[in-house]
Amino acid sequence: MNSKPLYKIDTFQDGLYHFFESVSDNVITQKVVAFRQSEEDDLIYSLVFGNVGDNGEIDVYSTNNSNENMETILGTVISTIEIFFKYHPDKIITFTGSTPSRTRLYRAVIGKFVDEKDFSYNIYGISNDREVESFQKHKSYIGYFIQKKDENS
């Protein structure tokens, strides 16, 4: 699914935590992608992405990176989704952007992948009125669900 350059990923706890270093403008930023199980439904995991803060927490609002390496960062995040599903093929991932513009960015990225013939995921959008539907490229969503397609279908 991903042919762009990626950062080296360190994966822990059966694919639930992924760390990598983003390098741009001579600045190295520690990034983390975490998959956190929902308290309401043990099939659903929230994807949380951001910088590793000084206190070890995930800073989802940080914008201290330039956009020069955005494709590499997003490609690396997509790779963590692939790793997660190797460990947890029957689970569902949900995610949204920390800002409306990031949610729109994710829609654009998803739109690039959904037409690939070897795309092996079902993507659903969450509309403003909280309805869930199959992802449509040009429709606005407040969040997304992704699940691995059944290999027999």
What is the identity of the amino acid at 41?
Answer: D
Residue 65's pLDDT is: 55
The answer to whether the pTM exceeds 0.95 is no
Report the chain's mean pLDDT, rounded to a whole number. Answer: 89
Place of tokens 């959008």: 125
Place of tokens 């760390």: 19
pLDDT tens profile 47-87: 999 999 888 888 887 766 555 788 888 899 999 999 999 99
Q: Give the DSSP letter string of 10-41.
A: EEETTTTEEEEEEEETTEEEEEEEEEEE-SS-
